[in-house]
Amino acid sequence: MSDGRYARVKEILLAALERPASARAAFVAAACPGDPALQAEVESLLAREETPASAVRSGALAREIGGALRAALEGPGPPTTPERIGRYRILGPLGEGGMGEVFRAEQSEPIHRVVALKLVRRGLDSREFIRRFEAERQILARLEHPGIARLIDGGLTEDGVPWFTMEFVDGVPIDRYCKDRALPVPERLRLFRSVCGAVQFAHRNLIVHRDLKPGNILVTPDGSVKLLDFGIAKVLDPAPDDVAVAPMTRTDSRLLTPAYAAPEQVRNEPVTTATDVYSLGVILYELLCGRRPYTVSGASTHDLEEAILTAQPTPPSAAADVVPPRGIDAARLRRQLAGDLDTICLKALRKEPERRYASVDQLDDDLRRYLEGRPVLARRDTVGYRTAKFVRRHRGAVIATAAVIVVLAGVISTYTVRLREERDRARSAAAQAELEARKANEVAAFVGGLFEASDPTVARGVDLTAGEILTRGARRVRTELATQPEIQAAMLQRIGDIYVSLNRYDDAAGLLDEALAIRRRLHGEAHPDVVLSLRSRGVLYDETGDYPAAESTLTRALELSRRAWRPTHPEVAESMHVLAMLHMHQARYADAERLLREALAIPQPPTGPGEMAAATLRADLAVVLRDGSNQYRTADTMLTQALTIRRRHLGNIHPDVSANLIDLGVNAYWEGRYDVAVSRYREALEVDRRLYGGDHSTVAADLLALGQALVSMGDPVAAEPYLRESLAMRRRVLGPIHRDVATSENDLASLLQARGDLDGAERLYRLSIEHYRLTVGEDHRFVTNGYGNLGNLLFVKGKAREAAAVLREAIRRTAADTLMLARRMQNLALALGTLGQYTEAETLFVRALRYQRDRLPADNPLIGTTLLNLGNLYVDRGRAREAEPRLLEAVEILRRKLRPGHWQVASSLSALGVCRAAFGRTVEAESLLIRGLAGVVSGGGPAYVKTRERARLVRFYAGIGRRADADRIAAGGVPSIPNP
């Protein structure tokens, strides 16, 4: 864009911003007459304009210093109603709330709108307010939900009085709305459920309201609910964040409305999402029976707090006596509430946060069940049930944390399984019950403690990352569980496993070693726990590529397994399984196959878990057979068998089913049956979309695989949306720096390369390599892959020398005897060919070809590509006799295996044309060369290929004296395809 052009764009943009949003489109269109490009540019920029966020953070320091100084000198100024606050003009009072006055105010710049402005007339440290506001504002601004009034802006007035503005809502408090309209109970429940939806949304964003009450829940005339003041209570909380130094009583200055406060708030303890569940319980109670749970004579705050802490609330059915909805008598209402609704309310109102509904979702869910006439879940309240729910409560927390939580949920289930085993050994039922209760409680308390730390109301200022939670967790495990080495080791072990899944291998190694050492000390060698630790450690060695260490560790684990369990125990099979996986990574396929078959030979009960474990072994054996000895058919059969077993046990919609489909797809992919691969990936994607809903790492992985297969099929256009969706999803789910993001970047880069956007591709490849380095480390094979891809791209861009250097590095790091090595040798050979190093290039092609022929079906398209490359080299060296048979074979394979019209086929034709010309068969030669050039142009071949085929045709015409045709083609003409 030229400078003049940009100036014009800016001018139109600024003028457009002056206008109301609704009038902008028309204005822009009018401002760009006859210039659609200009209009498109302006519109694409304007599309990024959103309601401007506040400017509160800018210059905050100035205000902070100013405000604090003033506050120190003068104390809070006298309450006056200013005409303007910030950029808002006060229109009139809206009311007075617990925290101060509320005004209707008007904003004129940059857009015109009416807002609600609250002045906080409380003994607040204005510096502290700004600090908190700064910390919270961004988070709160993210809360965009139709049921939540948006926070707009905030600051200090000239007098240092904190204020903030939010979306103006024209509505009445929910309790009044219900009363005025005499809504029947189901209507009330529906309304309440939309409140739950909004609160749950905020909880997923790690924001706790802390001050839910009917006055903060407005219902608009059209019947939709809007929650006010989300998160504001935290900003206004006069107590320091750090609970440890907070004075234990702050009742006097508390801004909360005591009637809706939860016991933990009264006790001044950390609040969590469970606090909102409690307040919702009070509101629900009130909406149902017209009263609050605790009736206290007089208005003493102290008595009310006492009741909140100690009194058992009356069930709403027993309290329903005041103003039943019109048309319903009190007795009928009592009957309606008795039972499920009583249970639901009382569960939400439990004193102990962990005994309430574990999430607003669950409360909501139970109400739905009630409305649908299904049994509610509130009644079940066992330790195991609560524990699981407790973990689930946090599932939606932060995305980064979510992964950890899911895995940590595994802590519990692992325990459950292990406890069951211990139960088998336990001497007496009583001892066993006691053991179970103790362990389950400790694990639950521990896991719960971790998440308290991740709660935004406890964590200070920043969201805790998953890693931090784990670091804290590990620290707590070391100190608090020191007297219980067995549990300590189990937790260290699990946290280590989670670190592995987060790719924090160094941290993981330390913890796993620690767990192993503790267990060895406790149990000696041949003990199940020791074996499990060894196995984790060995798998980690495997993952980080330290194969010798992995082998000795996993071999030892297998030996010990045979002593720790009976030789036919499923765990023995599992130890064989992990060792087999190592061998697979080492490309020791024969060893892997032997172990997997041995594991499969251990008789398992033909049904249930045994059959499922066998399905897993079978699926892995299939992969070994595929990669080790190209037994695609056998692999396909075994994977199909595994799929059948899994579907029978698990139904169609299950992660193992989709994983199995992916394996089948990979198998087809390597076999070169890209269309089959595509359809299997599509199936897997469908399953996973139904399993996981929107954004999920597994869905992203499916999208990626599908995109890759489409690219390989030669259909980059179809592939692009999948690859882009995959990358965008991964960035959202995993954050910008993550191994899997790097993978998506890599694959999108390869697509851009296929589409001819070489600069974009190079940028993404480099980004991907960088992200791999940062996540899996320099030495990982993913980084090597990146070099391989980048090298290939540099070659396509015409930077042969640089390409050769990068590819040599990639080859140096590539394991011998792999198909990948063949591919890279080939790419290096291409670069060397361009650089005139023909001898080495030929050697490399021949080696790659031999290797591919050994390992792949004869008609694999990779072989076709290598034949084409080798043929081209011979053609360019004038060795037409050697070139021709190879090119013929290439055409044969590529035609059958690639999408019709793929440029590689055309390129082979062109090279064949050169051969035929050399044999003096001019007519055939012309036809082939023309079809070749036309084909690489229409088939989207890389630029260097187009240039090469064009040059070949030009040379051909020049050689037979047809100068005019030569010039025409040289000038860029595209030949029309003659009849063959």
**Site for another protein, rule CB under 8 A:** 1, 3, 6, 10, 13-14, 17, 44-50, 52-62, 109-110, 134, 137-138, 141-142, 462, 465, 467-468, 471, 724, 727-728, 731-732, 735-737, 745, 748-749, 752, 757, 760, 763-764, 767, 770, 773-775, 777-778
State the catalytic residue, choosing from 153, 211, 340, 591.
211
Q: Which is nearer to another protein, 17 or 169 (CB)?
A: 17
d(CA 751, CA 731): 18
Instruction: Say if CB 926 and CB 914 are below 8 A apart.
Output: no
Q: Which residue has the tokens 């085993």?
A: 421
Closest approach, Cβ 65 to another protein, in A, equals 9
Closest approach, Cβ 891 to another protein, in A, equals 33
Q: Which is nearer to another protein, 386 or 738 (CB)?
A: 738
Q: Which is nearer to another protein, 1 or 182 (CB)?
A: 1
Q: Which is nearer to another protein, 489 or 723 (CB)?
A: 723
- Three-state SS across 875-938? HHCCCHHHHHHHHHHHHHHHHHHCCCCCHHHHHHHHHHHHHHHHCCCHHHHHHHHHHHHHHHHH
Closest approach, Cβ 235 to another protein, in A, equals 15
Instruction: Output the DSSP codes for 737-802.
Output: S-HHHHHHHHHHHHHHHHHT-HHHHHHHHHHHHHHHHHHH-TTSHHHHHHHHHHHHHHHHTT-HHH
Q: Which is nearer to another protein, 337 or 806 (CB)?
A: 806
Closest approach, Cβ 495 to another protein, in A, equals 14
Q: What are phi and psi of 907, to 5 degrees?
A: -65, -40
Closest approach, Cβ 215 to another protein, in A, equals 29
Side-chain half-sphere exposure of 317, counting CA atoms within 13 A: 14
Closest approach, Cβ 752 to another protein, in A, equals 6
Residue 684 CB partners (closer than 8 Å, separation 6+): 658, 659, 661, 662, 665, 702, 705
Q: Which is nearer to another protein, 211 or 543 (CB)?
A: 543
d(CA 652, CA 428): 41
Instruction: Say if CB 756 and CB 942 are below 8 A apart.
Output: yes
d(CA 956, CA 940): 23
d(CA 663, CA 621): 11
Alpha-carbon Rg of the chain, whole angstroms?
Answer: 35
43: left (phi over 0), alpha (psi -120 to 50) or beta: alpha
**Sheet with strand 217-219: strands edge to edge:** 172-173, 217-219, 225-227
- Whether 211 is a known active-site residue: answer yes
Closest approach, Cβ 547 to another protein, in A, equals 20
Closest approach, Cβ 809 to another protein, in A, equals 14
d(CA 685, CA 653): 11
Q: Which is nearer to another protein, 48 or 427 (CB)?
A: 48
Contacts by residues 75-82 (CB-CB < 8 Å, ≥ 24 positions apart)? 76/121, 76/123, 76/159, 76/160, 76/161, 77/159, 77/160, 77/161, 79/119, 79/121, 82/157, 82/158
Instruction: Say if CB 195 and CB 282 are below 8 A apart.
Output: no
Helices (H) and strands (E) in the chain, counts: 43, 9
Q: Report the SS3 class of residue 218.
A: strand
Q: Which is nearer to another protein, 65 or 951 (CB)?
A: 65
H or E stretch including 379? none
Closest approach, Cβ 635 to another protein, in A, equals 35
Q: Which is nearer to another protein, 627 or 720 (CB)?
A: 720
Residue 77 CB partners (closer than 8 Å, separation 6+): 159, 160, 161
What is the set of active-site residues? 211
